[in-house]
Amino acid sequence: MASHRKSRTPGTRVAGIRTPALATAALTSVALLSQTATAAPTDDGKPSLEEVEKKVGDLYRQAESATEKYNAAKEQTAKQRKRVDTLLDDVAQRTQKLNDAREELGSYAAAQYRTGAGVPDTATFLLADTPQDVFDQRQVMDRMTGRQKEAVDDYVTQQSETMKKRQEATESLRTLTESQDDLKTAKATVQKKLTDARELMARLTAEEKARLAAIEKKKQEEAARQAAELARQQAEQQQAREEAARQDAGSSDGTGSSGTATSPSPSTDSSYGTKAEKAIAFARAQIGKPYVWGATGPGSYDCSGLTQAAWKAAGVALPRTTYDQVNAGTTVPVSQAQPGDLVFFYDDVTHVGIYIGNGMMIHAPKPGTYVREESIFYDGESSVHSVVRPA
């Protein structure tokens, strides 16, 4: 994937995400790319390959951001449409009850007309504009029979509740319209960014595309090196934990000393490991399926659609978007990432993959690509936002 990292001030990230070794590796990657990329502008004023690569990467990132907004708007629209349907059904039922109450009042009015009874005309209530109009006619209420009063009370109640539900339905319809507008806007933005990226790439010559491919290959080699370094660090940490456990065991039975205390394993919940295995197995089975923005499977996925489906297969319900998934668990440092954890990318948290160990993940990268296994440093160490262990 083309580089589209935002510049950052070197230093420690939240939750201890960065490590000195990885920061050094990132600097090495930058130096390597600067030697490989063609940065100088061409004589004819065309952008350099480095500028093209950055522009394409930015466009894909913007498209992915718009995709997550589209996912959120789609989810909101679906919820709002369901609420509107429920309210309209309720209004219909209450309207029927109101009509029944009106008919009962009408029957009393008709009977009074036929008999010429001196009881005030019940039909007066049928002409009231609001429930308050009815209540204002208390002198009439005082002269009615008990059953007539019950009929009026029922009519007033049904009219009040029906008006309230109609108002709620009107407000919900307005909100639904706004959600649909947001959905259209996000969809148009995604399509525009993708079109711009494709057109930009289409203007490159075969030689330029080959040189870009060489740059990308170098990036992937560096990403693989960083993944291997993370795997080495994690292996050393695990060995330290196991050694500390042996020393503690020896100390407890009088055969050794407690030694130096070390950090415990980041997760001792065996049930998490079982669920993580199921989630990873599902994600692995999707490798080779195309990335399609807004897709949740089974034939195609976007990034958050894949992670949601993977953990659903393990019995865990994750929210739809990256914005919500990043808050659906416990944040841990990259150095303590475990298989099954979610790895989020970029300051605006617009991409996610599922960690499988050894610095690698399975993710749906971007339009035009397929679900694949890749280093979590595929776009550089600084692109990693956080690691979250689903609850």
User: What are the residue numbers of the active site?
Assistant: 303, 351, 363
CA distance 11 to 379: 18
Are the C-beta atoms of residues 270 and 35 closer than 8 Å to each other?
no
Q: What is the per-residue burial (b if ≥16 Cβ within 10 Å, else e) of 173-199?
A: beebeebbebbeebbebbeebbebbee
3-state helix, strand, coil in the chain (%, to 5): 60, 10, 30
Element (H, E) at 72: helix 49-115
Sign of CA dihedral 235, 238, 243, 244: positive
Which helix (H) or strand (E) is 356 found in, with range?
A: strand 351-357
**Measured between alpha carbons, how far apart are the two ends of the chain, in Å?**
30
**Sequence letter at residue 373:** E
